[in-house]
Chains A and B, each alone.
Chain A
Amino acid sequence: MIYKVSYVVIGGEYPGSIRNETERPQVGSIVQIGRVKFEVTEVQEIIPPRDDFQFLHATVRPVKTGGSH
Chain B
Amino acid sequence: MELIDILKGVELFRGLSTEQLSRLAAISHSETYPADAVIFSQGSPGDKMYVIARGEIEVRFQDHKGVAHSAIYLGAGQLFGEMALLDQGERSASVIAVQDGTEVYAISSHDFLALCQADTALGFIMMRNMALDLSFKLRHRNLDPATGL
Q: Does B76 interact with chain A (Cβ within 8 Å)? A: yes
Interface of B, helix, strand, loop or mixed by DSSP: mixed
In the assembled complex, which residues on chain B have CB atoms less than 8 Å from the CB atom of A51? 14-15
Q: Does B124 interact with chain A (Cβ within 8 Å)? A: no
A6-B140 contact in complex given A16-B72, A16-B146, A18-B72, C-beta closer than 8 Å: yes
In the assembled complex, which residues on chain A have CB atoms less than 8 Å from the CB atom of B58? 15, 34
Complex contact B14–A55 (CB within 8 A): no
Q: Which of chain B's residues has its CB closest to A12's CB?
A: B145
Size range of the interface on B?
20 to 34
Interface of A, helix, strand, loop or mixed by DSSP: strand
> Scoring B residues 65 to 101 as 1 if CB is less than 8 Å from chain A, else 0, what string do you get?
0000011111111100000000000000000001000
Report which residue of B76, B146, B147 has the largest number of chain A beta carbons within 10 angstroms of its beta carbon: B146
In the assembled complex, which residues on chain B have CB atoms less than 8 Å from the CB atom of A52? 14
Pick from A15, A19, A50: contact of B77, CB below 8 A.
Answer: A19
Given A9-B146, A11-B145, A34-B98, 7 new contacts (CB under 8 A) = A4-B11, A6-B144, A8-B145, A12-B146, A12-B148, A16-B146, A57-B143
What is the interface of chain B, defined by CB distance below 8 A to chain A?
Answer: 9-11, 14-15, 56, 58, 70-78, 98, 136-137, 139-140, 143-148
In the complex, the 9 A-B pairs of residues with the closest C-beta atoms, listed nearest first? A19-B75, A12-B145, A20-B77, A17-B73, A6-B140, A12-B146, A16-B144, A8-B144, A15-B146
